[in-house]
Amino acid sequence: MKKTIPIAQIEEKVRGWTALVQVLDRSHILVSEENPTISCRRFVFVDLDGTRVSTVAYNENIPPSSTHLIPLKKYYVSGATLKKATESDKIGPYHFTWTINHNTFIEPYEDGLVEEMFWPIEYQKFGNLQRFIDTEDLQNIQGLVAHAFDVKEIGLQTISRDIVLVNNERIPIILTLWNTYVANEGYQLASTVSAGNVVLAMRVKVTTLHGLSLSTRAGSSILINPPIPEAAILRQWYLQEQAVVADLVATEAYKNTSVLLPPPHPKDIKIVQTLVSPNNEPGEESEMQTANPKACIQAVAGETMGKDDALASNPLSRNFKNGKNTIGNVDDFHGAECSGTYPTKKIVAEQSIINDKPKKARISK
User: Each residue of 70-84: pLDDT tens digit?
Assistant: 888 999 999 999 999
Which of 74-88, 136-150, 204-218, 280-294 has the lowest average pLDDT? Answer: 280-294
Q: Summarize the confidence of residues 218-241 as an average pLDDT.
A: 91
Most confident listed range (105-109, 161-165, 361-365): 161-165
Is 303 within a domain?
no
Is 360 within a domain?
no
The CATH number assigned to the domain holding 160 equals: 2.40.50.140
Looking at the fold, whether 239 and 274 belong to one and the same domain comes out as no
Domain containing 152: what range?
126-260
d(CA 24, CA 18): 18
- What is the reported pLDDT for 278? 55
Looking at the fold, whether 283 and 205 belong to one and the same domain comes out as no
Looking at the fold, whether 19 and 99 belong to one and the same domain comes out as yes
- What is the reported pLDDT for 274? 64
Q: Summarize the confidence of residues 211-218 as an average pLDDT.
A: 92
d(CA 361, CA 77): 11
Is 361 within a domain?
no
Is 181 within a domain?
yes
Is the pLDDT confidence value at 113 over 70?
A: no
Is 13 within a domain?
yes
Is the pLDDT confidence value at 303 over 90?
A: no
Q: Which residues contact 29 (CB under 8 A, 6 or more apart)?
A: 39, 40, 41, 62, 66, 180, 348, 350, 353
Looking at the fold, whether 233 and 274 belong to one and the same domain comes out as no
Q: What is the pTM of this model?
A: 0.69
Model confidence band, residue 365 (pLDDT cutoffs 50, 70, 90): very low
**3-class secondary-structure state, position 334:** helix
Is 38 within a domain?
yes
Looking at the fold, whether 25 and 105 belong to one and the same domain comes out as yes
- What is the reported pLDDT for 75? 94
Q: Summarize the confidence of residues 206-216 as an average pLDDT.
A: 93
Is the pLDDT confidence value at 262 over 60?
A: yes
Model confidence band, residue 191 (pLDDT cutoffs 50, 70, 90): very high
Model confidence band, residue 115 (pLDDT cutoffs 50, 70, 90): low
Helix locations, 218-298, DSSP H: 229-240, 242-250, 257-260, 287-290, 293-297
Is the pLDDT confidence value at 45 over 90?
A: yes
User: Each residue of 307-364: pLDDT tens digit?
Assistant: 333 333 344 443 333 333 433 333 333 444 333 333 333 333 333 333 333 344 544 4
Mean pLDDT of the chain: 78
- What is the reported pLDDT for 331? 38
d(CA 165, CA 186): 13
Q: What is the count of structural domains for the chain? A: 3
Is 73 within a domain?
yes
In the chain, the percentage of residues whose pLDDT exceeds 90 is 52
